[in-house]
Chains A and B, each alone.
Chain A
Amino acid sequence: MISEIILQAMVTGLMMGLIYALIAAGLSLIFGLMDIVNFAHGEHLMLSMFSSFWLWSLFGLDPIFSIPITILLMAFCGVLTHYFLIRYILKAKMLIQICATFGLSIFIRSIAQFLWTPDFRNIDKPLLEGRLEISGMFIGQPQLIASLVCLVAFILLYLFVTKTETGLALQATAQDRHAAEILGIPSDKMFAIGWAIGLGCVGVAGGMMANYFFIFTDVGINFALFAFVAVALGGFGSIIGCLYAGIIIGLVESLGGLLIDPSFKLLYVFAIYLLVVIFRPQGLFGRY
C-alpha cells in the first residue's frame, strides 16, 4: 500500500518536473545567450496563464486551442522586453541587470494586480478533464497532457537549438557574440529571437497549466523560484541540464511533501539547491 502511494507521488512529481523543465529551459536559454537572469520569468508565466484565461473567458476558446495564440503573444512580449529594457542594460554591471529585471517583475505583477485584482480564477469545464486510472494509480488527464506537451516542446526546443541554422547561430552568439558578429550573425537580432523563444516556452507551460491550475497574480513566484533552482542545478546555460534538474525538483517536491511535511516543499528544494551549488558550483551539466 505504502509503495503505491510513493509510486503515485513519483508520477505526480515527474509530471510536474517536466513542466518545471520547460520553464527553466526558457530561462536557461536567455541566460546562456546574454548572461542575464530574467527575474521576471514567473511574471511572464503568470501573463501566459492569464492570456489563456482571457481567451477562454472572452472568446470561449479552450486552452488547448488557444496555445498557439498564447505562444505568439508571449514571444511578442519577449521581443518587446528585449527592445524596451534589455537592450539598454546589456553592458551594465550585473547588479544593475538584476535590479532591472527585478523591477520588471514588480512592474508586471503589480500592473496585473491593478487591472485584474488579486482574485483566484480558474477555467470552468475545459475539454481536458477527469482522470485516468492505470493499475491503481490515478493520473489527472490535464496534468498528463500538459506534461507530455511540455516534453514535446522541450524536445523541439532542443532540436531547434542543436540542429537548425538559427539555433546554431544562437549558440555561436552565446559563445562569443563579437566573433559571431564578425561572421555576420547580428547579435541584437539573436537576442530578440532568444527572448521570443525563451518566453514562448513559458507560453506553452502557462497555457497548458491554465487547464487545471488556479490563475492569480502571484502564481508565478513559486514556479520562477523552482525554475531558478533548476537552471542552477542543471548548470547555467545548459538546456539538457534543465530536463534532469526539473525532474529532480519535481520528485523532491512531491516525495518530500508526502514523506515529511507538505508545507515545507520550498525548503527541500532550497536544500537541494544549496547542496548542489556548494559541492558542484557549475551545476550537474555546467559548461564552466
Chain B
Amino acid sequence: MDKLLIAKSEPLWNTDKRIISLISGLIVLLFALPHFGLNSFYLHLMIMIFMHAVMAQSWNVIAGFSGQISLGHGAFFGIGAYATSFLYVQYGISPWISIFLGMIVSGVAAVLIGIPMLRLSGHYFAIATLLIGISFQVIFQRWEWVGAASGVWVPMTSGDSLLALQFHSSKMPYYYIFLVFFIITFFLVWLLSRSKLGYRLRAVRDDPQAALSLCINVSNYKIIAYVISAMIMAPMGSLFAQYILIIDPDRVFNIEISIIVLLITVLGGIGNVWGPIVGAAILIPISEYSRIYLGGTGGAVDLILYGLILMLICIFRPEGLISFFPKNILERKKQR
C-alpha cells in the first residue's frame, strides 16, 4: 500500500476539546437512551436513523468526497443482505462472520465494476450506475440458486441468539449493534476525511486535471473511494437482513434505497462528514410519520415529499442543511 495513504496530516489531538466533549457526550446519551423507557416504535425509529445515516455516509464517500455520482448504490446493500442470509440458510455460517464476507464480496464487486466504469465520469458514470443498480435487481430476480424472486427466508431461532444475530424479545440488542456500527463508521470516515487520502479524493473531485498534474492517479483514487463506499454499505444490508429476517430482490435491490441515500446526503450536506447524520435525523422521522399519518404503501406520499425536498434543497441550499451551522465549527483546530 502507498505509504502516503496513512493518515498523518492532521493528528487527532489537534481537535478542539469542546468538539471532543460534545461528541463523547452525544455518544453517552445515545448509549443511555433506550433506558429512558423508549417503546419499540422509537427504538425502531432510532435504528432506522442509524442505518440510513451509515448508508448515506457510504454514498457521501463516493459522491461527496470523490465527486462521482452513483445512482445504483442499492446494489451493495443487496449484496450485503444476500451474503448473510444466504450463507446462514445454506451453510449455517454465523452472520457475524458473513457480515465481513459480505463486505469483502461487496469490495470485490466494487473493484470489478469500478475498473471499467470509473474511467467514465460525470453523466456517463451516473447513467452507468443507474443501469448497474437495475441490472443487479434483474439478475437476482432470475437467479434460482439464491431463491429468485421469492428471496431468502431466514429461519427463526427459538429464542434470542447472539450467535445467529436474532433477537425476538426486544429491539434493544439491535439498537446497540446498529449504534456501534454507526459510531465506528463515522469515526473511520472522519479519520478518512482528515487523512491524505481524503484530501486527494477531494482534489480528484474539485479538479481532476490539476490532481493528475500532482501525480495523483485519478482513476485509482476513484476506485479506492468506490471500494470504501461499497464496504461501508454492505454491513448495513447484512444487519438489515438480520433485522427483518426476510429478503427478496424487490426489497433489498430497490431503487428507492439508491434514492434515499442520495436524498439524505444532499439534504444534510454533501461532502461533509456530519451531513448524513443531519439528513437522516430529519428525513427518517418525516418518512416514518408520513407513512403513519398520510397513508401506507401505495399512496407514495413519502416519495412525493422526497422529490419535493430534493428539488427545493437543490434550488435554495445546494450545500445542505449543515451549512446553517456556523462554518467550520465541526472541524476547528487548536490554535498553536
Contact = CB atoms under 8 A, between A and B. Distances in A.
Contacts of A93: 318
A103 B311 contact: yes
A281 B120 contact: yes
Band of interface residues on A: 35 or more
Given A103-B310, A104-B307, A277-B128, A85 B138 contact: no
A148 interface: no
Given A263-B138, A270-B131, A281-B124, A106 B67 contact: no
A105 interface: yes
A82 to B, nearest CB: 13
Nearest to A274: B116
Nearest to B267: A99
Contacts of A281: 120, 124
Contacts of A216: none
Interface string B296-336: 00111101101111110111001000000000000000000
A109 B134 contact: no
A262 to B, nearest CB: 11
Nearest to B124: A277
Contact of A94 (B122, B142, B301): B122
A107 B304 contact: yes
Interface stretch (A5-13, A72-80, A113-121, A185-193): A113-121
Interface residues of B, number: 43
A94 B124 CA distance: 12
A89 B315 contact: yes
A266 B137 CA distance: 11
A107 B308 contact: yes
Contact of A109 (B69, B124, B303, B313): B303
Contacts of A98: 69, 71, 123, 126
B270 interface: yes
B307 A95 contact: no
Contacts, number: 126
Contact of A225 (B122, B131, B301, B307): B131
A46 B124 CA distance: 24
- Interface secondary structure of A, over-half rule: helix
Contacts of B309: 103
A114 B309 CA distance: 17
B18 interface: no
A263 B131 contact: no
Nearest to B309: A103
10 contacts: A85-B311, A95-B69, A106-B307, A106-B310, A114-B300, A225-B130, A229-B127, A236-B123, A273-B131, A277-B128
Interface of A: 31, 37, 85, 88-89, 92-100, 102-111, 113-114, 117-118, 221, 225, 228-229, 232, 236, 263-264, 266-267, 270, 273-274, 277-278, 281
Given A114-B300, A277-B128, 17 more contacts: A37-B123, A88-B315, A95-B67, A98-B69, A102-B259, A106-B303, A106-B310, A107-B308, A107-B310, A109-B303, A110-B307, A114-B304, A225-B130, A232-B124, A270-B131, A278-B116, A281-B120
* Top 8 A-B pairs, shortest CB-CB distance: A107-B307, A103-B310, A110-B303, A106-B307, A100-B314, A110-B300, A103-B311, A113-B300
